[in-house]
Amino acid sequence: MKAILYPTILSLALLAPWTPTTSAATLPYQGLATDANDKPIADGNYPVVFSLYGNPAGGTSLWTESQALGTHKGLFATSLGAATAIPDSLFRGSPLYLGVAFDGASEGTRSFLASPPWAKAADSSRASRISDSAKVVAGLRDSLVALRAGIRADSIAHATLRAADTAAWKALHRADSALIVSQGRILSMLLSPPAVPWQTGISYGLVSDGRDGQIYRTTRIGGQVWMAQNLNFRDSAGGADTVGVCYNYSVDSCAKYGRLYTWAEAMAGRPSSSASPSAVRGVCPKGWHVPSDSEWTLLQHAADTTDTLGAKMLKSTMGWRNNAALDAYGFRALPGGDFSVNAFYNGRNEGFWWSATEFDASLAWSRTMLSTSSDVVRYDPPPDKSAGLAVRCVQD
Protein backbone atom coordinates (compact mmCIF):
# COMPACT_ATOMS: atom_id res chain seq x y z
CA MET A 1 0.00 0.00 0.00
CA LYS A 2 1.20 3.46 -0.77
CA ALA A 3 1.08 6.33 1.71
CA ILE A 4 1.56 10.04 1.21
CA LEU A 5 2.92 12.63 3.65
CA TYR A 6 2.56 16.33 3.05
CA PRO A 7 2.89 19.66 4.89
CA THR A 8 -0.10 21.88 5.57
CA ILE A 9 -1.36 24.10 2.82
CA LEU A 10 -1.13 27.19 5.10
CA SER A 11 2.60 26.83 5.48
CA LEU A 12 3.02 26.42 1.76
CA ALA A 13 0.72 29.34 1.05
CA LEU A 14 2.84 31.64 3.16
CA LEU A 15 5.94 30.59 1.23
CA ALA A 16 4.24 31.64 -2.02
CA PRO A 17 1.36 34.03 -1.24
CA TRP A 18 -1.72 33.87 -3.42
CA THR A 19 -3.02 37.01 -5.09
CA PRO A 20 -6.83 36.81 -4.83
CA THR A 21 -8.99 37.41 -7.83
CA THR A 22 -12.73 37.91 -7.97
CA SER A 23 -13.60 34.22 -8.69
CA ALA A 24 -10.88 31.54 -8.24
CA ALA A 25 -7.63 30.69 -6.46
CA THR A 26 -4.64 28.31 -6.69
CA LEU A 27 -2.66 26.86 -3.80
CA PRO A 28 0.94 25.56 -3.95
CA TYR A 29 1.32 22.04 -2.63
CA GLN A 30 4.22 19.65 -1.97
CA GLY A 31 4.13 16.02 -0.90
CA LEU A 32 6.16 12.85 -0.28
CA ALA A 33 4.86 9.47 -1.59
CA THR A 34 6.10 6.30 0.20
CA ASP A 35 5.36 2.62 -0.01
CA ALA A 36 4.09 0.37 2.76
CA ASN A 37 7.59 0.33 4.27
CA ASP A 38 7.75 4.13 4.38
CA LYS A 39 10.34 4.24 1.60
CA PRO A 40 10.01 6.72 -1.28
CA ILE A 41 8.31 5.20 -4.27
CA ALA A 42 10.11 4.75 -7.56
CA ASP A 43 10.47 7.81 -9.76
CA GLY A 44 7.67 8.05 -12.31
CA ASN A 45 4.37 9.71 -13.22
CA TYR A 46 1.35 8.93 -11.01
CA PRO A 47 -2.32 9.99 -11.04
CA VAL A 48 -3.32 12.03 -8.01
CA VAL A 49 -6.82 13.21 -6.99
CA PHE A 50 -7.16 16.24 -4.72
CA SER A 51 -10.48 17.04 -2.97
CA LEU A 52 -11.62 19.74 -0.53
CA TYR A 53 -14.31 19.00 2.10
CA GLY A 54 -16.18 20.94 4.72
CA ASN A 55 -15.81 18.03 7.23
CA PRO A 56 -12.84 15.95 8.48
CA ALA A 57 -14.65 12.75 7.40
CA GLY A 58 -17.60 11.86 5.19
CA GLY A 59 -19.71 14.31 3.23
CA THR A 60 -19.51 15.40 -0.35
CA SER A 61 -16.41 17.08 -1.72
CA LEU A 62 -16.70 20.81 -2.36
CA TRP A 63 -14.01 20.75 -5.01
CA THR A 64 -12.05 18.00 -6.79
CA GLU A 65 -9.39 17.81 -9.47
CA SER A 66 -7.12 15.11 -10.94
CA GLN A 67 -3.49 15.64 -11.94
CA ALA A 68 -0.69 13.43 -13.29
CA LEU A 69 2.42 14.20 -11.23
CA GLY A 70 6.03 13.14 -11.60
CA THR A 71 8.04 12.13 -8.51
CA HIS A 72 11.72 12.27 -7.66
CA LYS A 73 12.73 10.18 -4.69
CA GLY A 74 9.09 10.27 -3.68
CA LEU A 75 8.84 14.05 -3.76
CA PHE A 76 6.35 15.90 -5.94
CA ALA A 77 4.99 19.43 -6.16
CA THR A 78 2.02 21.10 -7.82
CA SER A 79 -0.54 23.89 -7.56
CA LEU A 80 -4.03 22.97 -6.42
CA GLY A 81 -6.53 24.56 -8.75
CA ALA A 82 -4.21 24.33 -11.75
CA ALA A 83 -6.57 21.87 -13.50
CA THR A 84 -9.85 22.86 -11.86
CA ALA A 85 -10.08 26.37 -10.36
CA ILE A 86 -10.88 26.63 -6.67
CA PRO A 87 -13.76 29.06 -6.09
CA ASP A 88 -13.02 32.01 -3.80
CA SER A 89 -16.25 31.30 -1.97
CA LEU A 90 -14.60 28.29 -0.28
CA PHE A 91 -12.27 30.65 1.64
CA ARG A 92 -14.87 32.82 3.31
CA GLY A 93 -14.42 31.74 6.89
CA SER A 94 -15.44 28.04 6.77
CA PRO A 95 -12.80 25.41 7.69
CA LEU A 96 -11.58 23.15 4.87
CA TYR A 97 -10.10 19.65 4.83
CA LEU A 98 -7.90 18.28 2.04
CA GLY A 99 -8.07 14.70 0.88
CA VAL A 100 -5.36 13.25 -1.40
CA ALA A 101 -5.76 9.95 -3.30
CA PHE A 102 -2.36 8.92 -4.76
CA ASP A 103 -2.15 6.46 -7.63
CA GLY A 104 -5.67 5.05 -7.07
CA ALA A 105 -5.24 4.52 -3.31
CA SER A 106 -7.83 5.73 -0.81
CA GLU A 107 -7.53 9.25 0.58
CA GLY A 108 -6.80 8.18 4.08
CA THR A 109 -6.99 10.86 6.81
CA ARG A 110 -7.89 14.31 5.56
CA SER A 111 -5.65 17.30 6.43
CA PHE A 112 -7.14 20.34 8.10
CA LEU A 113 -6.77 23.43 5.94
CA ALA A 114 -7.22 26.62 7.98
CA SER A 115 -8.46 29.70 6.17
CA PRO A 116 -5.31 31.59 5.13
CA PRO A 117 -5.10 35.22 6.42
CA TRP A 118 -5.12 36.50 2.86
CA ALA A 119 -8.36 34.65 2.08
CA LYS A 120 -10.38 37.30 3.85
CA ALA A 121 -9.06 39.84 1.39
CA ALA A 122 -11.28 38.16 -1.22
CA ASP A 123 -14.30 39.38 0.73
CA SER A 124 -13.22 43.04 0.46
CA SER A 125 -13.96 45.16 -2.47
CA ARG A 126 -11.23 46.91 -4.45
CA ALA A 127 -12.47 50.22 -3.06
CA SER A 128 -12.10 48.90 0.49
CA ARG A 129 -8.52 47.79 -0.22
CA ILE A 130 -7.74 51.20 -1.75
CA SER A 131 -9.27 52.88 1.30
CA ASP A 132 -7.12 50.78 3.64
CA SER A 133 -4.02 51.58 1.60
CA ALA A 134 -4.88 55.27 1.74
CA LYS A 135 -5.20 55.04 5.50
CA VAL A 136 -1.79 53.42 5.71
CA VAL A 137 -0.28 56.12 3.50
CA ALA A 138 -1.98 58.83 5.56
CA GLY A 139 -0.67 57.25 8.75
CA LEU A 140 2.85 57.14 7.35
CA ARG A 141 2.53 60.76 6.25
CA ASP A 142 1.33 61.83 9.70
CA SER A 143 4.16 59.88 11.31
CA LEU A 144 6.66 61.57 9.00
CA VAL A 145 5.22 65.02 9.84
CA ALA A 146 5.39 64.23 13.53
CA LEU A 147 8.96 62.96 13.16
CA ARG A 148 10.03 66.12 11.34
CA ALA A 149 8.34 68.27 14.00
CA GLY A 150 10.11 66.29 16.70
CA ILE A 151 13.48 66.71 14.99
CA ARG A 152 12.83 70.45 14.58
CA ALA A 153 11.83 70.75 18.25
CA ASP A 154 14.92 68.79 19.28
CA SER A 155 17.09 71.09 17.17
CA ILE A 156 15.57 74.19 18.75
CA ALA A 157 15.93 72.69 22.21
CA HIS A 158 19.54 71.73 21.46
CA ALA A 159 20.34 75.24 20.20
CA THR A 160 18.73 76.75 23.30
CA LEU A 161 20.62 74.37 25.55
CA ARG A 162 23.86 75.10 23.71
CA ALA A 163 23.32 78.86 24.11
CA ALA A 164 22.55 78.35 27.80
CA ASP A 165 25.66 76.20 28.19
CA THR A 166 27.77 78.85 26.43
CA ALA A 167 26.40 81.60 28.68
CA ALA A 168 26.96 79.45 31.76
CA TRP A 169 30.50 78.62 30.64
CA LYS A 170 31.27 82.30 30.09
CA ALA A 171 29.88 83.20 33.49
CA LEU A 172 31.89 80.40 35.09
CA HIS A 173 35.00 81.51 33.22
CA ARG A 174 34.53 85.08 34.45
CA ALA A 175 34.03 83.82 38.00
CA ASP A 176 37.13 81.61 37.72
CA SER A 177 39.16 84.52 36.34
CA ALA A 178 38.03 86.77 39.17
CA LEU A 179 38.87 84.05 41.68
CA ILE A 180 42.31 83.53 40.15
CA VAL A 181 43.02 87.26 40.30
CA SER A 182 41.81 87.38 43.89
CA GLN A 183 43.89 84.35 44.84
CA GLY A 184 46.88 85.88 43.06
CA ARG A 185 46.54 89.06 45.10
CA ILE A 186 46.21 87.10 48.32
CA LEU A 187 49.20 84.93 47.41
CA SER A 188 51.19 88.01 46.46
CA MET A 189 50.45 89.56 49.86
CA LEU A 190 51.35 86.34 51.66
CA LEU A 191 54.62 85.97 49.76
CA SER A 192 55.53 89.65 49.80
CA PRO A 193 58.66 90.34 51.82
CA PRO A 194 58.04 92.09 55.14
CA ALA A 195 58.55 95.83 55.43
CA VAL A 196 62.14 96.67 56.34
CA PRO A 197 62.62 99.46 58.90
CA TRP A 198 65.09 102.29 58.42
CA GLN A 199 67.96 102.72 60.85
CA THR A 200 67.05 105.28 63.51
CA GLY A 201 70.63 106.37 64.13
CA ILE A 202 71.40 107.33 60.52
CA SER A 203 71.00 110.82 59.14
CA TYR A 204 69.50 110.10 55.73
CA GLY A 205 69.33 112.56 52.89
CA LEU A 206 66.62 112.72 50.21
CA VAL A 207 66.72 112.97 46.42
CA SER A 208 63.78 113.31 44.05
CA ASP A 209 63.98 111.79 40.58
CA GLY A 210 62.64 114.53 38.32
CA ARG A 211 61.69 112.00 35.64
CA ASP A 212 58.95 110.22 37.60
CA GLY A 213 58.82 112.00 40.97
CA GLN A 214 60.07 109.05 43.03
CA ILE A 215 61.96 109.99 46.19
CA TYR A 216 64.96 107.99 47.43
CA ARG A 217 66.83 108.17 50.73
CA THR A 218 70.58 108.67 50.56
CA THR A 219 73.46 107.95 52.94
CA ARG A 220 77.13 108.98 53.17
CA ILE A 221 79.73 106.23 53.48
CA GLY A 222 83.35 107.37 53.52
CA GLY A 223 83.77 109.97 50.79
CA GLN A 224 80.79 108.77 48.75
CA VAL A 225 77.05 109.51 48.86
CA TRP A 226 75.01 106.47 47.84
CA MET A 227 71.31 105.94 47.37
CA ALA A 228 70.05 103.91 50.33
CA GLN A 229 67.58 102.14 48.00
CA ASN A 230 67.80 100.27 44.73
CA LEU A 231 66.71 102.26 41.69
CA ASN A 232 63.07 101.77 40.64
CA PHE A 233 62.98 103.87 37.45
CA ARG A 234 60.99 102.20 34.65
CA ASP A 235 61.55 104.46 31.59
CA SER A 236 64.70 104.52 29.49
CA ALA A 237 66.94 107.59 29.21
CA GLY A 238 65.10 108.49 26.00
CA GLY A 239 61.73 108.27 27.76
CA ALA A 240 60.19 106.06 25.05
CA ASP A 241 60.79 102.50 26.26
CA THR A 242 60.20 100.62 29.48
CA VAL A 243 63.34 99.27 31.14
CA GLY A 244 63.88 96.90 34.00
CA VAL A 245 61.54 94.28 35.43
CA CYS A 246 60.11 93.51 38.87
CA TYR A 247 61.17 90.27 40.54
CA ASN A 248 58.52 87.65 39.67
CA TYR A 249 56.72 90.50 37.86
CA SER A 250 55.43 91.66 41.24
CA VAL A 251 54.81 95.37 41.76
CA ASP A 252 55.38 94.82 45.51
CA SER A 253 58.85 93.50 44.73
CA CYS A 254 59.67 96.65 42.76
CA ALA A 255 58.45 98.82 45.64
CA LYS A 256 60.70 97.00 48.13
CA TYR A 257 63.70 95.88 46.04
CA GLY A 258 63.66 98.21 43.04
CA ARG A 259 63.85 96.95 39.47
CA LEU A 260 66.22 94.46 37.85
CA TYR A 261 68.06 95.76 34.76
CA THR A 262 70.25 94.23 32.08
CA TRP A 263 73.70 95.85 31.87
CA ALA A 264 72.71 97.62 28.62
CA GLU A 265 69.61 99.05 30.31
CA ALA A 266 71.66 100.16 33.32
CA MET A 267 74.20 101.89 31.06
CA ALA A 268 71.53 103.46 28.78
CA GLY A 269 73.86 103.21 25.80
CA ARG A 270 76.98 104.61 27.48
CA PRO A 271 80.32 102.78 27.09
CA SER A 272 82.08 100.95 29.90
CA SER A 273 83.98 103.01 32.48
CA SER A 274 86.53 101.97 35.12
CA ALA A 275 87.11 105.53 36.34
CA SER A 276 86.19 106.76 39.79
CA PRO A 277 83.72 108.33 39.53
CA SER A 278 82.53 106.50 36.45
CA ALA A 279 80.75 109.53 34.92
CA VAL A 280 78.16 107.11 33.49
CA ARG A 281 74.73 108.49 34.34
CA GLY A 282 73.05 105.56 32.61
CA VAL A 283 69.63 104.85 34.10
CA CYS A 284 70.29 107.01 37.19
CA PRO A 285 68.67 110.44 37.85
CA LYS A 286 70.41 113.65 36.89
CA GLY A 287 73.36 114.33 39.22
CA TRP A 288 73.89 110.62 39.90
CA HIS A 289 75.75 107.81 38.11
CA VAL A 290 76.22 104.04 37.91
CA PRO A 291 79.24 103.15 40.11
CA SER A 292 82.32 101.69 38.46
CA ASP A 293 84.03 98.55 39.68
CA SER A 294 86.60 100.68 41.54
CA GLU A 295 83.85 102.72 43.24
CA TRP A 296 82.36 99.50 44.60
CA THR A 297 85.80 98.62 45.96
CA LEU A 298 86.00 102.01 47.73
CA LEU A 299 82.59 101.32 49.34
CA GLN A 300 83.78 97.92 50.57
CA HIS A 301 86.89 99.43 52.19
CA ALA A 302 84.88 102.24 53.75
CA ALA A 303 82.40 99.75 55.23
CA ASP A 304 85.10 97.34 56.45
CA THR A 305 88.83 97.76 56.00
CA THR A 306 89.39 94.01 56.21
CA ASP A 307 87.03 93.34 53.28
CA THR A 308 85.59 90.37 55.20
CA LEU A 309 82.64 91.99 56.98
CA GLY A 310 81.53 94.45 54.31
CA ALA A 311 78.23 92.68 53.65
CA LYS A 312 77.47 92.42 57.37
CA MET A 313 77.96 96.19 57.67
CA LEU A 314 75.92 97.02 54.55
CA LYS A 315 73.03 94.52 54.61
CA SER A 316 69.66 95.44 56.12
CA THR A 317 68.96 94.08 59.59
CA MET A 318 65.77 92.45 58.27
CA GLY A 319 64.56 90.76 55.08
CA TRP A 320 67.30 88.14 54.64
CA ARG A 321 66.68 84.44 55.28
CA ASN A 322 69.79 84.12 57.45
CA ASN A 323 70.67 87.43 58.93
CA ALA A 324 73.14 88.78 61.46
CA ALA A 325 73.66 92.08 59.62
CA LEU A 326 74.27 95.46 61.28
CA ASP A 327 73.44 97.95 58.48
CA ALA A 328 75.94 100.23 60.20
CA TYR A 329 75.83 102.97 57.53
CA GLY A 330 72.19 102.85 56.42
CA PHE A 331 73.07 101.30 53.06
CA ARG A 332 70.14 98.88 53.64
CA ALA A 333 71.16 96.23 51.06
CA LEU A 334 68.27 93.85 50.39
CA PRO A 335 68.09 90.36 48.79
CA GLY A 336 66.26 91.37 45.62
CA GLY A 337 67.43 88.31 43.61
CA ASP A 338 68.15 88.37 39.88
CA PHE A 339 66.79 87.05 36.60
CA SER A 340 68.28 85.16 33.67
CA VAL A 341 66.61 83.97 30.47
CA ASN A 342 63.22 85.17 31.74
CA ALA A 343 63.48 83.19 34.99
CA PHE A 344 63.93 84.62 38.47
CA TYR A 345 66.39 83.33 41.08
CA ASN A 346 67.64 83.83 44.65
CA GLY A 347 64.84 86.07 45.94
CA ARG A 348 65.31 86.80 49.70
CA ASN A 349 68.62 84.93 49.57
CA GLU A 350 70.96 87.12 47.53
CA GLY A 351 71.32 90.66 46.24
CA PHE A 352 73.11 91.59 42.97
CA TRP A 353 74.26 95.04 41.71
CA TRP A 354 75.81 96.17 38.43
CA SER A 355 78.95 98.24 38.01
CA ALA A 356 79.65 100.45 34.98
CA THR A 357 82.78 98.43 34.18
CA GLU A 358 82.68 95.59 31.69
CA PHE A 359 84.84 92.48 31.86
CA ASP A 360 84.60 91.76 28.13
CA ALA A 361 82.06 92.07 25.32
CA SER A 362 79.53 89.79 27.07
CA LEU A 363 80.34 90.10 30.81
CA ALA A 364 80.41 93.00 33.28
CA TRP A 365 81.63 93.36 36.85
CA SER A 366 79.09 93.35 39.67
CA ARG A 367 78.80 92.87 43.43
CA THR A 368 76.85 90.21 45.28
CA MET A 369 75.76 89.83 48.91
CA LEU A 370 74.53 86.48 50.22
CA SER A 371 72.37 85.57 53.19
CA THR A 372 75.06 83.07 54.29
CA SER A 373 78.13 85.30 53.92
CA SER A 374 79.51 88.42 55.67
CA ASP A 375 81.63 89.73 52.80
CA VAL A 376 80.81 91.49 49.55
CA VAL A 377 81.48 89.05 46.70
CA ARG A 378 83.09 90.05 43.40
CA TYR A 379 82.56 86.99 41.18
CA ASP A 380 85.26 86.25 38.63
CA PRO A 381 84.18 85.74 35.90
CA PRO A 382 81.28 88.15 36.45
CA PRO A 383 77.69 87.65 35.23
CA ASP A 384 76.49 87.88 31.66
CA LYS A 385 75.35 91.33 30.58
CA SER A 386 71.92 89.91 29.69
CA ALA A 387 71.21 89.02 33.33
CA GLY A 388 68.92 91.22 35.40
CA LEU A 389 70.59 92.88 38.44
CA ALA A 390 69.77 95.85 40.67
CA VAL A 391 71.34 99.31 40.31
CA ARG A 392 72.60 101.53 43.17
CA CYS A 393 73.34 105.09 42.06
CA VAL A 394 76.20 107.22 43.45
CA GLN A 395 76.09 111.00 43.61
CA ASP A 396 78.32 112.81 41.10
Taking only the tens place, the pLDDT of each residue in 282-340 is 999 999 999 999 999 999 999 998 888 899 999 999 889 877 799 999 999 999 999 99
Q: pLDDT value at position 124?
A: 45
Tell me which DSSP letter residue 292 carries: P
Which residue ranges in the chain fall short of pLDDT 50? 1, 3, 6-22, 115-125, 189-190, 192-193
Q: pLDDT value at position 117?
A: 40
- At residue 114, the 3 state secondary structure works out as coil
The H or E element containing residue 182 is helix 126-191
Instruction: Find out whether 230 and 259 touch, Cβ atoms under 8 Å.
Output: yes
Q: pLDDT value at position 10?
A: 34
Q: pLDDT value at position 137?
A: 64
Q: Where in the chain does DSSP place strands (E)?
A: 3-5, 24-25, 27-34, 45-53, 63-70, 75-80, 86-87, 96-102, 111-113, 205-208, 215-221, 224-227, 288-289, 338-340, 343-345, 350-358, 364-370, 394-395
Residue 334 and residue 382: Cα distance in Å, rounded? 20
Q: What are phi and psi of 300, to 5 degrees?
A: -60, -45
Residue 214 and residue 232: Cα distance in Å, rounded? 8
pLDDT in tens, 154-179: 778 777 777 777 777 677 767 766 66
